[in-house]
């Protein structure tokens, strides 16, 4: 695992951090909660795209380009910085769609969608999850008809669905996963916003009621998207983990600073031995979250044979520990930590929501066990 950033990556990371600090400090994020229907101004998102937020997973031929050898390793730096500031914006879903089109899309599909994604003029999202279904199961039906496909079913929760121009839909054709690119304005597509624990991330359910799409809308081959769904899941998970780790790292720093400033019985809180021990545990968990997320991102970026295992290990570890770190930060702040005016709850909301999207820690432990040929109770085959 190489955690050393190149000079170019350091510059990219610092540029992203400065832009976020200047354009959407936490006070501005709070203003956008009620002021901006999408949770962010479109102009702000376009400015972020100018920094390369949506082009890192694309080749130069498609209008992209990475800072380092692997674009995903660069993109997790953005996710980490956004986590540190609970920034809004469809970073994850838009990049997942861009990656899918770059890998499997036709020249026509790439020309129609990628320029808008790169510039920030268009937003795209990935429709994978389905109500009351396992997160990695594709059950929405796509029925072949008259040279195209007819989609029936519901997806949700889908991030930024109401703000998206394009939907990459994971559908099932005769039981085989298939990716279909659907314009959000297609007749029969209904987007219904749903409440979100995260105040600036918008989610919705998307219903496909007999939606007809031409054969040219298929991304890749009909029935051939199983491997691509798995790869995109890994991309989504490592971005989530980087964001959760960044949020935990920032808030632990804020809490340590508060403990030095807050006095009790004439001494700073940070001077008490019991709290020192607790801070040591929290620091250990936070550094492990950062390292685990970065290691998984590297494996996925390189296409390692262990990418699926490491991505699930990261979601399992970070998904379990990041919420606990944030909850402890709340407790260490005392009464002020549970107030609306304090920023802690914004970070806790983001982390708790990320924890359950694209698989809970328990579900990812099951995936690891399945990959190792173990029973869900941890025993070996036949145990």
- 105 and 27 inside one domain: yes
Rounded to the nearest 10 degrees, what angle do helices 71-84 and 91-104 cross at? 170
User: Does residue 376 sit within a domain?
Assistant: no
Q: Give which of 198, 37, 26, 54 is closest to 116, Cα–Cα.
A: 54
Task: Decide: 166 and 189 in contact? Cβ < 8 Å.
Answer: no
Asked whether residue 241 falls in the same domain as residue 308, the answer is yes
206 phi and psi, to 5 degrees? -120, 120
Q: Residue 274 domain-assigned?
A: yes
pLDDT tens-place string over residues 60-110:
999 999 998 889 999 999 999 999 999 999 999 999 999 999 999 999 999
* Same-domain check for residues 256 and 348: yes
Q: How far apart are CA 252 and CA 278, in angstroms?
A: 11
Q: Which of 178, 201, 219 delimits the end of a domain? A: 219
Please indicate, yes or no, whether residues 99 and 230 belong to a single structural domain of this protein: no
**CATH code, domain carrying 19:** 1.10.540.10
Extract the runs of DSSP E, i.e. beta strands, from the chain: 124-127, 141-145, 148-159, 166-173, 176-183, 189-194, 203-214, 218-219, 263-264, 267-268
111 and 207 fall within a common domain: no
**Dihedral (C-alpha) 370, 371, 377, 382: value to the nearest 10 degrees?**
80
In the prediction, which pLDDT does 381 show? 39
In a shared domain, residues 37 and 75: yes
Same domain, 190 and 256: no
As for how many domains the chain has, the answer is 3
Q: Which residues contact 7 (CB under 8 A, 6 or more apart)?
A: none
Residue 281 belongs to domain with CATH number: 1.20.140.10
Task: List the chain pLDDT tens, one digit each, 383 residues.
Answer: 445 788 999 999 999 999 999 999 999 999 999 999 999 999 999 999 999 999 999 999 999 999 988 899 999 999 999 999 999 999 999 999 999 999 999 999 999 999 999 999 999 999 999 998 888 899 999 999 988 999 999 999 999 999 999 999 999 999 999 999 999 999 999 999 999 999 999 999 999 999 999 999 999 999 999 999 999 999 999 999 999 999 999 999 999 999 888 888 888 887 888 889 999 999 999 999 999 999 999 999 999 999 999 999 999 999 999 999 999 999 999 999 999 999 999 999 999 999 999 999 999 999 999 988 886 554 443 33
Range of the domain at 130: 124-219
């Amino acid at each position: 695992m190489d955690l050393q950033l190149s000079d170019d990556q350091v510059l990219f990371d610092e540029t992203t951090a400065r832009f976020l600090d200047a354009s959407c400090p936490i006070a501005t994020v709070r203003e956008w909660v009620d002021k901006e229907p999408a949770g962010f101004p479109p102009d702000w998102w376009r400015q972020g795209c100018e920094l390369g937020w949506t082009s890192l997973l694309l080749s130069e031929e498609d209008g992209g380009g990475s800072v380092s050898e692997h674009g995903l390793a660069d993109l997790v730096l953005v996710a980490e910085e956004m986590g540190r500031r609970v920034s809004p914006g469809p970073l994850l879903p838009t990049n997942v769609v861009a990656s899918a089109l770059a890998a499997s899309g036709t020249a026509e599909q790439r020309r129609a969608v990628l320029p808008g994604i790169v510039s920030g003029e268009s937003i795209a999202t990935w429709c994978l999850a389905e109500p009351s279904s396992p997160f990695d199961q594709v059950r929405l039906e796509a029925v072949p008809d008259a040279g195209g496909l007819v989609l029936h079913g519901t997806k949700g929760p889908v991030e930024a669905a109401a703000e998206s121009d394009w939907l990459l839909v994971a559908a099932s054709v005769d039981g085989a996963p298939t990716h279909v690119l659907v314009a959000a304005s297609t007749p029969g597509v209904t987007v219904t916003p749903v409440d979100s624990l995260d105040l600036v991330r918008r989610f919705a359910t998307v219903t496909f009621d007999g939606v007809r799409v031409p054969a040219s809308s298929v991304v890749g081959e009909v029935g051939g998207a199983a491997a691509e769904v798995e790869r995109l899941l890994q991309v989504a998970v490592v971005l989530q983990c980087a964001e959760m780790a960044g949020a935990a790292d920032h808030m632990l720093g804020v809490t340590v600073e508060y403990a030095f400033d807050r006095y009790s019985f004439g001494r700073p809180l940070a001077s008490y031995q019991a709290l020192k021990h607790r801070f040591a545990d929290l620091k250990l968990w936070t550094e492990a979250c950062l390292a685990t997320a970065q290691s998984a991102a590297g494996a996925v970026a390189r296409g390692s044979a262990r990418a699926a295992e490491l991505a699930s290990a990261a979601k399992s570890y970070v998904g379990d520990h990041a919420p606990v770190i944030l909850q402890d930060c709340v407790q260490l702040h005392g009464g002020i930590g549970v107030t609306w005016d304090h920023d802690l709850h914004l970070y806790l909301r983001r982390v708790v929501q990320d924890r359950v999207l694209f698989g809970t820690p328990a579900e990812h432990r099951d995936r690891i066990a399945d990959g190792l040929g173990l029973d869900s109770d941890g025993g070996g085959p036949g145990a």
